[in-house]
Amino acid sequence: MQRQIIDYALQRKARLAEVHSGRRAVADVCDASPYLLRAAKFHGRPSPTLCPICRKEQVTLVSWVFGDKLGQVSGSARSSEEITRLATSAEEFSVHVVEVCRTCSWNHLVQSYVAGLPPRSTRRRRVAK
Ligand SMILES: [Zn+2]
């Protein structure tokens, strides 16, 4: 279950306005790292949104997971199926959804949310799992 959902549409819009007005260089926003592009290729999911910069392809959504309890999984890109599985087995973690264009390397955070089981400290010890 997703909670604490934050939408970054306004920030995205502001960023694009900066680019369109020339206040920010395209190279500045089209700076996806090879790591992110690779994640988009292997873990990304298609989106209906056309790339706002090059308009040559639809952006790919990549979900990154972060959490103290995730161990090595923290800070990695995961598919929707993996996140669904994690949400039922792992303790609270956050997910950052980034859109990336594999043509021009545009990338921007679009959404973040918290998923996973409630932290143990708030659960009663005697409750069996
Ligand atoms: Zn693009």
pLDDT tens sequence across 20-61: 999 999 999 999 999 999 999 999 999 999 999 999 999 999
pLDDT (average), residues 99-117 = 97
CA of 48 to the centre of ligand 1 (A): 13
In a domain, 123, yes or no: no
Q: Which domain holds residue 105?
A: 3-118
- In the predicted model, is pLDDT for residue 129 greater than 60? no
Q: Which residue has the tokens 């959490």?
A: 67
CA of 100 to the centre of ligand 1 (A): 8
CA of 129 to the centre of ligand 1 (A): 46
In a domain, 107, yes or no: yes
Number of domains in the chain: 1
In a domain, 50, yes or no: yes
In a domain, 20, yes or no: yes
Per-residue pLDDT tens over the stretch 50-84 = 999 999 999 999 999 999 999 999 999 999 999 99
pLDDT tier for residue 1 given thresholds of 50, 70 and 90: confident
In a domain, 128, yes or no: no
CA of 58 to the centre of ligand 1 (A): 8
Residue 115: exposed, middle, or buried by beta-carbon count in 10 A (0-12, 13-18, 19+)? buried
Q: What percent of the chain has pLDDT over 90?
A: 88
CA of 66 to the centre of ligand 1 (A): 26
AA identity, residue 68: D
In a domain, 97, yes or no: yes
Neighbours of ion ligand 1 (CB under 5 A): 51, 53-54, 101, 103-104, 106
Picking from 21, 22, 47, the residue whose alpha carbon sits closest to that of residue 107 is 47
In a domain, 34, yes or no: yes
In a domain, 124, yes or no: no
